[in-house]
């Protein structure tokens, strides 16, 4: 059961466990499988909501493939990274890359000021 929505999971536990074994050649701990199921259920809910919103915006009562494609873009590709992830990426930059990043940030800030 998905605790967040109070509904049954869209992911079958045994299928996921088997998929992990088949793709990786590894066994999987119960806590790892449960955590993956939670994450996948949350993504499924976000995709369903986004696809539904896309259909509603087009004033349709049917979710079409294009709504799912739009939902995938919105949910998976446009998710902003966490601050911690950004800090790790910045820490890995060379000094030269950091200067380039600083220049890009300044340019974007200046552009936003002009647009105001």
Name the DSSP letter for residue 2: B
pLDDT in tens, the chain (116 residues): 444 556 788 889 999 999 999 999 999 999 999 999 999 999 999 999 999 999 999 999 999 999 999 999 888 876 677 888 889 989 999 999 999 999 999 999 988 888 87
pLDDT of residue 3: 46
Question: Alpha-carbon distance 62 to 49, whole Å?
Answer: 13
* DSSP tag of 105: H
Helices (H), 11-94: 13-24, 30-57, 65-72, 83-91
Topology, domain 1-79: Histone, subunit A (1.10.20)
Give pLDDT, residue 78: 66
Tell me what pLDDT residue 1 has.
41
What's this model's pTM, rounded to 2 decimal places?
0.58
């Amino acid at each position: 059961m998905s605790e967040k929505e109070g509904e049954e999971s869209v992911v079958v536990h045994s299928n996921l466990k088997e998929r992990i074994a088949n793709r990786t050649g590894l066994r999987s701990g119960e806590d790892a499988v449960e955590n993956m199921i939670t994450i996948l259920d949350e993504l499924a809910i976000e995709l369903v909501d986004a696809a539904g919103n896309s259909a509603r915006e087009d004033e349709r009562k049917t979710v079409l493939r294009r709504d799912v494609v739009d939902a995938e873009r919105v949910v998976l590709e446009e998710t902003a990274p966490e601050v911690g992830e950004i800090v790790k990426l910045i820490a890995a930059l060379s000094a030269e890359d950091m200067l380039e990043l600083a220049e890009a940030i300044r340019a974007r800030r200046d552009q936003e000021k002009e647009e105001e």
